[in-house]
Amino acid sequence: MLNVHNFNSQITAMISKNTLSVRPGVPVCKMVGLLLHKSLYNLSNERVVSGWL
């Protein structure tokens, strides 16, 4: 099982080093979930975003 808290803190630290912002605009777990959903169901970016909003 994935330790979400540890994963989130590690990814957030990497993102923070590579951008000017301190935190990403969207939580990492949500982004990973959207990417998995996109991949599993072969959806376009527009379809994933429209389903999320």
Quickly state the pLDDT bin for 10 (edges 50, 70, 90). Answer: confident
pLDDT winner (highest mean) among 4-8, 14-18, 27-31, 32-36: 32-36
Domain boundaries defined on the chain:
4-52
Residues in the chain: 53
The model's pTM is: 0.54
Mean pLDDT across the chain: 77
Burial of 23 (0-12, 13-18, 19+ CB in 10 A): exposed
